[in-house]
Amino acid sequence: MDAVRTLLETQPLLTLFVTVALGYVVGEMSIKGVSLGSGAVLFVGLAIGGFAPKSAPPALLGTLGLLLFLYNIGIQYGDQFFKGLTSANGLKANIAAAFGVIVAGFVSVALVPLFGVKLDESLGMFAGSGTSTASLQAAMAAMKGDGATVGYSVAYPFGVAGPILFLYVLSVVLKPHIERPPPKLIETAEIALRNPAFIGARFSDLVARMPAGLAIAAVRREHHNRTLTDDLILQADDVLLATATDPAVLREATSLFGELQPGRITSHREDLDYARVFASSRLVVGHMLRDIRFPEGVACTIAHVRRGDADLMPKQDLILEFGDRVGLLANRANMKSLRALFGDSIKGTAELSFISIGVGAALGLLAGAVPLPIPGVGKLTLGLAALLLVALVLGRVRRVGPFAWTMPLTANLVLRNFGLTIFLAQVGIASGPKFFATIGVAGVSFLVYGVAIALALLLVTTILCLWVFRLPFDMTVGVISGATGNPAILAFANRVAPTDLPDLGYAMIFPSMTVVKILFVQIAAVLASG
């Protein structure tokens, strides 16, 4: 064993990746549907750190990992976050979650005078109960010690399993009736124009009056398919190729415009053919559909955009991202030039601009270094919380001049999960010795304290969401998931409420609650030291 210990202590990078590998093996183990996921990396790191006390990699490596995690969270959820802030339900959800987080924070701080817990350990339990690695880092930086990691590691298991059990009990008690929505896939209908109200009108007039969620991709007239322009004068018996993700919208359009004429357009491809291309060129990525300029003399219609596993309607303000699969209607002779315009490279699913990442992260770090005066507290720097805020803004803006801030979902997930894993591994290894020195003395009591902090967060958030603000149950479970933070909780929430609202609630809440948790930890640390 001494030889193994010596090897680990002399090869910190080897130790780091052994920790990552073993952590994910443990994290995939499931007990009654509950698993720790990436959080298990922390516990494996603690074990290895306790076994080989001098094996910890440099702390800067862990900070870099957390930076990647927070930056990519902000880039992905920026748009949903700001939309949530401007909606009635989004404001209610953020208020409910903020109250829950703050009450949980006060419970953690109250442990100091009531039970003699050290402040860094109580703030670590606060971070662990909310599964917030970002607030753990803030506690470590503010308190200049590793007591926060001990509290975090003890409270973390219930921080993951507790909310899952809570959501299960909540669904059993309330028995909400939630129907699983059908998948959002593009469906088509070929409709012969028979309504006199539209015959002789411009196509733009028809667009202004057609049902929401509908798009017209092409028209067939006099045995020829053609793309549409706003000034096209509609004629009787024109066949319109209508698309929508909701079959009810297509039925409404059919009754409004005329009658179905299936096969009239799709069975004839001599004028217009269909092709699906990858968006991988900077000529289109980061641009709205309305701003894309097709080659001279090329008539083309964007029929739909597929991003990840979802079909998106081709709205004019939709911004293309790397890796989007774009459905085109155009003449076969023009397909080569269109493929060149869009790039059409599968590498686009992993394409990202390291220049944009460098500039964006640098802006966030600069913002985090600026001291902000807070009345009653003094000057406070936001640190990595500012990085998250900057990333949220960039994720909302998406593009500034030559900088495309967004990246494909696949690349985003890889970078942020890798960053989180590196952070947990480094922190766990570094804190292992202190953890085992403390856990034997205060382990059971710390677990009870962690349960109390987590329950305060869960109960306050749930009561405000369901009975004060009367948010839908499926949105509420998403808000609870975002307030507690761990993606495993969101995955369970999607099983409890199989709609889009849990994901929406999570996206609106997770970034802002991460900032709230970090600020609470920093303010508590400053007030305590003052």
357 CB-near residues (< 8 Å, 6+ apart)? 71
Q: Stretch 142-156: mean pLDDT, rounded?
A: 82
Q: Which region, left, alpha or beta, applies to residue 31 given φ > 0 means left and ψ of -120 to 50 means alpha?
A: beta
Q: Which of 20-29, 97-106, 358-367 has the lowest mean pLDDT?
A: 20-29
Rounded to an integer, what distance in angstroms lies between the CA atom of residue 372 and that of residue 45? 35
pLDDT at 376 (0 to 100): 63
Assign 3-class secondary structure to 21-36: HHHHHHHCCCECCECC
Report the Cα 510 to chain-centroid distance in Å.
8
Q: What is the mean pLDDT of the chain?
A: 86
Rounded to an integer, what distance in angstroms lies between the CA atom of residue 462 and that of residue 247? 35
Percentage of the chain modeled with pLDDT above 70: 93
pLDDT at 10 (0 to 100): 87
Closest C-alpha among 22, 21, 18, 13 to residue 56: 13
Kindly report, residue by residue over 438-478, the tens digit of the pLDDT. 666 666 788 889 889 999 999 999 999 999 999 999 999 99
pLDDT at 377 (0 to 100): 61
397 CB-near residues (< 8 Å, 6+ apart)? 78, 405
CATH architecture label of 187-349: 2-Layer Sandwich (3.30)
pLDDT at 236 (0 to 100): 93
Percentage of the chain modeled with pLDDT above 90: 38
- Supply angle C-alpha 480, 377, 391, rounded to 5: 50
pLDDT at 443 (0 to 100): 65
Rounded to an integer, what distance in angstroms lies between the CA atom of residue 186 and that of residue 266? 15
Query: Which pTM does this prediction carry?
Result: 0.74
> How many beta carbons lie within 10 A of that of residue 261, not counting itself?
17
Three-state SS at 237: coil
Rounded to an integer, what distance in angstroms lies between the CA atom of residue 347 and that of residue 409? 13
Q: Flag whether pLDDT at 404 surpasses 90.
A: no
Please indicate whether residue 220 or residue 76 has the higher confidence score (pLDDT). 220
Please indicate whether residue 527 or residue 344 has the higher confidence score (pLDDT). 344
Q: Flag whether pLDDT at 328 surpasses 90.
A: yes
Rounded to an integer, what distance in angstroms lies between the CA atom of residue 434 and that of residue 440? 11
Domain boundaries, the chain: 2-177+362-529, 187-349
Three-state SS at 525: helix
Q: Flag whether pLDDT at 157 surpasses 70.
A: yes
Kindly report, residue by residue over 230-247, the tens digit of the pLDDT. 899 999 999 999 999 888
CA dist 244 → 256, 292, 515 (Å): 15, 22, 38
Spell out the alpha helix ranges (H) of 188-244.
203-209
Rounded to an integer, what distance in angstroms lies between the CA atom of residue 464 and that of residue 95? 9
pLDDT at 124 (0 to 100): 92
Q: Flag whether pLDDT at 194 surpasses 90.
A: yes
